[in-house]
Amino acid sequence: MGGVSAAADRGERVPKQDRSRATRQRLLEAAVACLAERGWAGSTVLVVAERAGVSRGAAQHHFPTREDLFTAAVEYVAEERSTALRALFPEGAAAGDRRAVVTALVDLYTGPLFRAALHLWVAASDEEQLRPRVTELEARVGRESHRIAVDLLGADESRPGVRESVQGLLDMARGLGLANLLTDDTARRERVVGQWAALLEGALDEAPG
C-alpha cells in the first residue's frame, strides 16, 4: 500500500513497486470476477491466484487470509466504479441530467460487482468470521455511494425529505440489482427508473417545507 517514494535508487525500486501494485490489482479484479461467478463457497485464495496468473505465495503475501482478499477486492472495485461514475459527470448534474445520473447510479448495482458484493453480504450473514469485516465494508461503500448520489444529483440535504429521498433511491437501486440476478430485467428496470427519477426530481426541486 505504501506510496511511491522519490528515492535515489528510483530506477531500481519503482518498477518493483509497480510490479507489486500490478499483481495486487490483478488479484483484486480476479477475486471480484470469481466471487461473482462462483459465489463465496467456490472462492478461495488459490482459485483467485490461478485465475490471476499469480503464485499462491505471492497472493498470500498480499492477502494473508481469504477474508482479506475478498473484502479488499469488493472495496477496490467499488472505488474504481465510483471514480468512473464521477468522471462521467465531471460537473455534477444540471437538473436536466438527473435522469441520466439516476440511470448511472442504478447501473452500479446490476453488474458483476453487485453480484460479487451480494455473495459476500449473504455469506457474511452466516459466517461469524466474515460478518464484522463485511459490515464495516458495507458502511464505507454505502456512505460513498450516498455522497456520490448527493453530489451528482445536486441534492440539498438541508431540505426536509431530501436525504431520505436519495437513500430510498439507492435502496431501490439495490432492489433492482437483486431483481436482475436470475433474469435480464433491463426493460422493466428502465420503466421503473424513468418513473421514479421523475418522482425524485419533484422531491428534490420542491419549495422548502
What residue ranges bind a copy of itself (CB under 8 A)? 37-39, 41-42, 115, 118-119, 121-126, 131, 134-135, 138, 142, 161, 164-165, 167-168, 170-179, 181-183, 188, 191-196, 198-200, 202-203
Residue pair 202/195 in contact (Cβ under 8 Å)? The answer is no
Q: Nearer to a copy of itself by C-beta: 22 or 122?
A: 122
Least distance CB 121 / a copy of itself (angstroms): 6
Closest approach of a copy of itself to the CB of residue 167, in Å: 5
In angstroms, give the least distance from the CB of 84 to a copy of itself.
22
**CA 55, CA 180: separation in Å to the nearest integer?**
35
Q: Taking the complex as a whole, how short is the minimal distance between the CB of residue 100 and a copy of itself, in angstroms?
A: 18
Nearer to a copy of itself, 55 or 195 (CB): 195
Q: What is the grid cell recorded at 149? A: 448520489
What angle is formed at CA 104 by the lines to CA 140 and CA 116, rounded to 5 degrees? Answer: 50
In angstroms, give the least distance from the CB of 177 to a copy of itself.
Answer: 8
Nearer to a copy of itself, 58 or 178 (CB): 178
Length of the chain: 209
* Closer residue to a copy of itself in complex, CB, 138/151: 138
Distances (CA, A) of 85 to 35, 70, 138, 147, 184: 23, 22, 19, 12, 23
Q: Whose Cβ is closer to a copy of itself: residue 26's or residue 119's?
A: 119
Of 111, 108, 94, 100, residue with least CA distance to 194: 100
H/E stretch holding 38 = helix 10-38
